[in-house]
Amino acid sequence: MAGSDSVRQSGAPGQPGAPERRDSPARVRNPEGDGVARTGGPLDADAGADADADADADADADADADAGAARVLALPVGAKVALVALAAAVAVAAAAHLAVVFLHVAPSNTLSRQYDEQIDRYIYPEFEQNWKLFAPNPLQQNIAIHVRVQLRDEDGTLRETEWVNLTALDAEHIRHNPFPSHTAQNEMRRAWDFYTGSHNDEEQPTGSRGELSETYLKRIALLRLAPGLDADVEQVTRVQLRSASQTVAPPPWSNETVDTETRYRVLPWWPVVTADIPEAIR
């Protein structure tokens, strides 16, 4: 036939003259029926697997939540009432605490003036707020608290101990400790601030908190001193405290000149009765 030589037929794949076969993504039927073939590959399969995993995780979370709710609902009526009462008590206590702290830090008003004494008794010394860490007047002194006591020996003789640096004892518990306690870091310092804020230079109370601050400071001092005391703490008849204050020296590059001499503030002797001794060391 004329022109038959000009027509070349393709053979089957793998036979001479057959075109090279290339792999292509699998063609899948288009569910939308628009006649356009869609392709699917490994990425589509991975996406589907991730979606299934997320769905399973959500289902498990929902199942756990349902199981927890079922356990709560299965509790006896008395237990449910107790849980509700506990939650209500915690909420009321938190709200009351925030309200008292707000009245303490807020500007003076009718309500805070009317309940000033009750607010102070709740706030001091544990929850007091102050701004000594911040400008314009940050604390620039190292203050150490010392204590000594008068003891009555078994034969009735009175003797005084040497001064003990309570601040240094606290520092030993803080230094090289990655998780120092709040007590070691702040209790003694806040107790001293409480005292100085409620007494004048003649060591006289300036308000209703004065006697409370003395009692608080006395009890903390005895609690700190008791482990190293060479006698029973109930033999203590009087206690005396003092502060040793030293201004922080300026850095080497500063031209400022300050007096770094240590100055002492010595408090009077306070009598000690059984009620002043914390139960933990009796």
Compute the residue count for the chain: 282
Interval 189-205 mean pLDDT:
92
For 123-179, write each residue's pLDDT tens digit.
Answer: 876 777 766 656 555 668 899 999 999 999 999 999 999 999 999 999 999 999 999
For 80-137, write each residue's pLDDT tens digit.
Answer: 889 899 999 999 999 999 999 898 888 888 888 888 888 888 887 677 776 665 655 5
Interval 213-236 mean pLDDT:
92
pLDDT at 258 over 50: yes
Q: Write down the pLDDT at residue 106.
A: 84
pLDDT at 29 over 60: no
Q: Can you tell me the distance from the alpha carbon of 258 to that of 248, in angstroms, rounded to the nearest whole number?
A: 8
Q: Can you tell me the distance from the alpha carbon of 77 to that of 79, in angstroms, rounded to the nearest whole number?
A: 5
